[in-house]
């Protein structure tokens, strides 16, 4: 398939480019920079210039694809609510490009969106429209498209890591190395979901190939 991929030069997106090409898909990767364009070309992907601030430009690129995977997100957490709303607009634009067809759109959310309430286990079957996390806006946008007949599925990400990067806990690891001790809360029995980068990339590929409308996948391996 010819797959339009946002976030193609990001942590997950760059691994996904290689995963898709290895499976004989043609990747059109979105980037805003010259460095990103060079990296995509070197990986064997076609380059498409675009930004999250220009959803109509992304819509134009998606319209020429056989499938769309949306992994891009603005991770400036000082503007998290605003960025979630921006993601909602981008998802709506990408879905509009696929309207009237069975071409799949795979969007991204967080594994916590599958929790029915505070302190409860997150599961794939749960969609909690009243979830207090602003990231639920992404899934709300996906559901609106699904109701309009667009083939939408969602990958819910946990903490994603590889040997080089450990996501949000990387600063804590750095502090532990500096101090020689690792802090923990309470008795240290807290647990959180995680998954390896290569497994997350594989899941996105399988999701776009399966083309199952309304499916929710937790990219959790640990």
Residue spans of the domains in the chain: they are 2-164+194-218
Q: How far apart are CA 172 and CA 209, in angstroms?
A: 37
The phi and psi torsions of 28 (rounded to 5 degrees) equal -110, 105
In the beta sheet, which residues pair with residue 217? Answer: 155
- pLDDT tens string, the chain, 222 residues long: the values are 999 999 999 999 999 999 999 999 999 999 999 999 999 999 999 999 999 999 999 999 999 999 999 999 999 999 999 999 999 999 999 999 999 999 999 999 999 999 888 778 888 999 888 899 999 999 999 999 999 999 999 999 999 999 989 887 888 889 999 999 988 889 888 888 999 999 999 999 999 999 999 999 999 999
Q: Give the strand pairing for 26-31 and 194-196.
A: unpaired
Reading the block at residue 125, the tokens are 């079957």
CA angle 3, 97, 127 (to 5 degrees): 85
User: d(Cα 154, Cα 74) in Å, to the nearest integer?
Assistant: 18
pTM: 0.94
What Rg, from alpha-carbon coordinates, does the chain have?
18
- The neighbouring-strand residues paired with 194 are 159
Q: How far apart are CA 60 and CA 84, in angstroms?
A: 22
Q: Quickly count: other Cβ atoms within 10 Å of residue 5's Cβ.
A: 32
Cα 207–209–212 angle (5° rounding)?
Answer: 60
Which structure tokens are listed for 43? Answer: 């990986």
Of 140, 135, 52, 62, nearest in space to 96 by CA: 62
**2-164+194-218 has CATH 1.20.1250.20 classification:** no
Which segments of 124-173 are extended strands (E)? 151-157, 159-161
């Amino acid at each position: 398939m010819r797959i339009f991929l946002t976030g193609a030069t990001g942590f997950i997106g760059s691994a996904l480019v290689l995963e898709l090409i290895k499976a004989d898909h043609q990747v059109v990767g979105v980037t805003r920079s010259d460095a990103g364009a060079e990296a995509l070309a070197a990986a064997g992907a076609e380059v498409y210039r675009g930004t999250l601030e220009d959803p109509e430009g992304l819509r134009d690129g998606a319209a020429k694809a056989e499938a769309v995977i949306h992994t891009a997100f603005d991770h400036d957490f000082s503007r998290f609510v605003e960025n979630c709303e921006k993601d909602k607009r981008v998802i709506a634009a990408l879905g509009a490009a696929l309207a009237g067809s069975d071409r799949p759109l795979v969007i991204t959310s967080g594994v916590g969106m599958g929790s029915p309430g505070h302190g409860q286990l997150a599961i794939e079957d749960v969609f909690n429209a009243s979830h207090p996390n602003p990231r639920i806006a992404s899934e709300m946008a996906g559901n609106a498209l699904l109701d309009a007949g667009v083939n939408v599925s969602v990958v819910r990400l946990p903490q994603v890591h590889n040997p080089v990067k450990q996501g949000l806990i990387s600063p804590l690891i750095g502090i532990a190395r500096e101090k020689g001790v690792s802090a923990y809360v309470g008795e240290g029995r807290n647990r959180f979901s995680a998954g390896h980068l290569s497994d997350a990339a594989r899941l996105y590929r399988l999701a776009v190939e399966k083309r199952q409308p309304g499916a929710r996948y937790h990219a959790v391996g640990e």
